[in-house]
Chain A
Amino acid sequence: MSTRPDARTEILRRVRAAMPTAPVPVPRDYASDDGPPGAEVVDLLVDRLEDYKATVRRCTAADLPATVGALLADVPSLVLPPGVPSSWSSSFAGSRAIDGDPAPLTVTALDAPGVAVVTGCAVAVAQTGTIILDAGPDQGRRLLTLVPDHHVCVVRVDQVVERLPAALRRLADPTRPLTMISGPSATSDIELNRVEGVHGPRRLEVVVVD
């Protein structure tokens, strides 16, 4: 390869040589702003989450520990990102481990049978039933919501927006690791029908807190 000019120089030269035109104006006539926030937006989120086979519970802030506790009734061990308030899982009776306290949790520990994880989220999109995690303190490292087979995600109603454009604008820093989740792991690879449950968590439970 040393006899050729370097690839970077040559590709950029060729792109410049082929360069089409002046910058193209982008008409942005699509709906980029949400309507006024309201109960129907939260209802839409619940409907769309359930349509893609997530389990949804709605509760008040006071009832959150009991609601989370009920969802974890058959779970022997719980893992938590460091920033999840301890009150969220105060009704949980099994063993619990906090990532990074004292040491980061290993993949093997997270892959053990019966492990569940409870996290918050950064923002949720009603129209598509999407939860966005941005590795904030109550969401933690990406593998925490990936390796355990059971993910309980707490969404406050003030984190729910109607459309994707509003959701992306809400993210504090787009360069943090981002994960968008719309229902549990699924595939359409067999005869193009959707089947839930492949490599990601097969149980996705969302608690919407009023």
Chain B
Amino acid sequence: MTGTGNIVTRLPFPTAARRELGDEQLRRNLRKATHTIRDKRLRVVGEVSDWEQLRVAGAAIKDDVQARLPSLLEQFEAAATAAGATVHWARDAEEACAVVADLVRATGTAEVVKVKSMATQEIGLNEALEAVGINAVETDLAELIVQLADDTPSHILVPAIHYNRTQIRDIFASRMADVDATTLTDDPPALAEAARRHLRSRFLSTKVGISGANFAIAATGTLAVVESEGNGRMCLTLPETLISVVGIEKLLPTFADLEVFLQLLPRSSTGERMNPYTSLWTGVTPGDGPQTVHIVLVDNGRTDTLADPVGRQALRCIRCSACLNVCPVYERVGGHAYGSVYPGPIGAILSPQMSGEGANRTLPYASTLCGACFDACPVRIDIPQVLVHLRQSGVDAARSRPSAERTAMRTMSYVMRDRRRYAAALRAARRGAAPLRLAAGGRGTLRRLPWPLSAWTSTRDAPLPPKQTFREWWAREHSS
């Protein structure tokens, strides 16, 4: 069913992008961070001789999961339940938030610690919990920075990628009650230490942890969380109650399938051979970790996406963010321009499909179709193909309404169908362009055209017709 929550863009992409492009500091920060991670990724991927085979296997496993999703979901539910977990289902963001809020309220606690999770960002869980008086503390460093700054995430892996170290230092100094603002420096180890001290007592005392999951194993009912800092281990191990919000596409058939994804994910996301910590748990283990375990399986637009034969490959996504880091558009506009919690190339195909809503229809145009995202994708999602497919669906949906673009294309089609008509049109265009060429100061392009052609020249120059065509040049060269 149609997804809701933080995947619906409020502003059309061009409007939001223009706003973000005005921020030079943002562009510098993004350029530095994305280039750092690109180089790291290439280095560690280059170490793996069977990388392409792993990509092919990863894509096939995810496609197989989609083909067998009903039985795998039932199998997962049965295995997790047998291991002591309670499985809940939620159709959309509101329902998922309501399920989690009820579970937290039943524990009587007013504060929860959270592991970084795209699923909980997607459904807007923090806001929903706050509305019922429950304080959700983000414990991932970047999520904490964003939360302290009252900001929204701008990257899948590093939500605070738009801040540099000095800006992070200033956020900590002004918003962390327990930090000494006079001595705090912008040295990254000092900032990590400040986060450690800020969260330590909460980890050790909070009764409820909330997580997502990178993978869910159907055969065993096991969940996996891949992380770096140890905040995940804290939230997954120390609370009495653990609630995990999991998209239905996160399933893998068997435990052995992790051998593919635990090689693909860390190298693609942080550019590490392996991330510092990966935790796997299956229901409840007596005496070790949370003794009450809940799993909320969320649809929120995933079944809509699954129904599109071309677009469904977006559901292979393992949220590594490699496509963001290599995207020339993302590098310049940043994550906030995409509106959704899923920015960048993957967001441009995931958000419109999951939500099917208004302004999201501009997202498939937020790309140059250069294809770098497909090359970087560890599960071989052909993002450019889906972008073009979604653009076409958008045009098809509006086919019954008159459109200047379509009228222009029809005219072009008529002119170009006949060689004499085409040559005559070119001659006419050249005569018409002669004064314009003078006005353009001899350049072959025009910077600005009057409305409605200004829609073209607002973002690019308009080329003027050449002084002679190839045919004319050929005829002259070969006439003698």
Contact = CB atoms under 8 A, between A and B. Distances in A.
Nearest to A146: B233
B57 A30 contact: yes
Contact of A24 (B29, B67, B83, B262): B67
Nearest to A12: B70
Nearest to B195: A198
A188 interface: yes
B67 A22 contact: yes
A127 to B, nearest CB: 7
A178 B281 CA distance: 7
B287 A164 contact: no
Contacts of B181: none
A83 interface: no
B36 interface: yes
Interface stretch (A35-43, A55-63, A84-92, A104-112): A104-112
B204 A174 contact: no
Give the size range of B's interface with the partner. 35 or more
Given A11-B297, A180-B278, A192 B195 contact: no
B5 interface: no
Contacts of B217: 174
Contact of A193 (B160, B188, B306): B188
A146 B234 contact: yes
Interface stretch (A71-79, A115-123, A135-143): A135-143
Given A142-B289, A177-B285, A186 B228 contact: yes
Interface string B64-78: 101111100110000
Nearest to B56: A27
A124 to B, nearest CB: 11
Interface SS majority for chain B: helix
A128 B259 CA distance: 12
Nearest to B50: A30
A69 B10 CA distance: 61
A135 B199 CA distance: 26
B32 A191 contact: yes
Contacts of A165: 256, 259
B48 to A, nearest CB: 9
Given A187-B228, A188-B270, A164 B262 contact: yes
Interface stretch (B88-96, B103-111, B374-382, B392-400): B88-96
Nearest to A176: B285
B273 A127 contact: yes
A10 B234 CA distance: 35
A164 B67 CA distance: 27
Given A7-B95, A11-B303, A190-B165, A27 B237 contact: no
Contact of A189 (B160, B233, B297): B160
Nearest to B305: A18
A70 interface: no
Interface stretch (B13-21, B139-147, B344-352, B406-414): B139-147
A179 B141 contact: no
Contact of A198 (B69, B141, B285): B141
Contacts of B200: 111, 199
Interface string B35-69: 01100100000000110011011001101101111
Given A11-B303, A164-B259, A180-B274, 13 more contacts: A12-B70, A14-B303, A22-B67, A25-B60, A31-B53, A129-B274, A143-B238, A186-B228, A186-B229, A187-B228, A189-B145, A192-B36, A199-B196
**What are the 8 tightest A-B residue pairs by CB atom distance, in nearest-first order?**
A200-B230, A199-B230, A198-B229, A128-B274, A18-B307, A189-B142, A14-B303, A175-B282
15 contacts: A10-B1, A11-B248, A12-B70, A29-B56, A164-B262, A164-B263, A175-B83, A176-B282, A178-B278, A185-B229, A191-B29, A192-B161, A199-B139, A200-B229, A200-B276
